[in-house]
Structure 1
């Protein structure tokens, strides 16, 4: 069986966002007080301003860390484990209700489209005390796929 060659494709911001928009499985990475990495699997979207958006709760470690440091990274995964991926680093902000309500609507739309009852959704976000983490990309890796280096990709 032929070996697959690993790839990296450098992209501009528009190409990055086009890659990220249909991919909602991310690993959010924030920094703990002791400097170590805290990683969380999350569902994420891209808002109309091109920020990665993640719904959470204010008391969760990811929210506290992002609020404290003002930075976060996400590893954007494809549906297949061996599919293409990209890491995005950026400035993070955490919005609480009531300021988070309309951005949470944008978050939902970016992942699932239209809700059957937006008033009900807004009430649920308030009742649950949700927050929204927004990450403005400041740098990103090339879009990558796994595999072998070219020197090892031949069968012989």
Structure 2
């Protein structure tokens, strides 16, 4: 059965893909992407989702800056099992879900790790002393996530069997 278009001109039909990757390929995929959705678990067992900026540190952990009292940090300290959906800048770009174990690092131990976090997202800061002072003043913390499993790198689109039934 052919499925007719709903309205407007026909668009190219993209077919969804899923590409299995090893840890090295996963981290290579994540490094240039900084839009994450972090899922932690609330006390009542329901998910807490937080849109965050993130990166990958030199040890291969996903890193996210936070404040000690934020739900994501409190939840991750209570239950370190977290998930991160790493999105591409382009809404229709590839994405991946990473599950892992979180560690929340507080000041003063977080200071050097926050420098590494900034570098992996934005490069060099024009004044590291100023940056460090701001992180101390804000009492920032860092969430580090060690990947334990991950899904395939996925792209959106039609399932192949549906795309085949659509008008060309």
Q: Shared fold by TM > 0.5?
A: yes
Which residue of structure 1 lines up, in the alignment, with residue 58 of structure 2? 48
TM-score (norm 2): 0.91
TM-score by length of 1: 0.98
CA deviations over 1:27-54 (Å, ceiling 9, x no partner): 0000000000000000001000000000
| Shift, 1:121, TM fit | 0.7
**How many residues were matched structurally?**
156
Provide the residue aligned with 1:82 in structure 2. 92
How many angstroms apart in 1 are the aligned matches of 2:90 and 2:76?
28
Provide structure 2 residue ranges, at least 5 long, that are not aligned to the other structure.
Answer: 1-10
Residue 2 of structure 1 deviates from its aligned partner by 3.2
Once the two structures are TM-superposed, the CA of residue 87 in structure 1 deviates from its matched residue by: 0.3
Match of 2:104 in 1: 94
In the aligned structure 2, how far is the partner of 1:33 from the partner of 1:66?
A: 11
Greater radius of gyration (CA): 2
Aligned partner of 1:134 in structure 2 is 144
The SS at the match of 2:78 is helix
Deviation >4 Å, runs of 4+: none
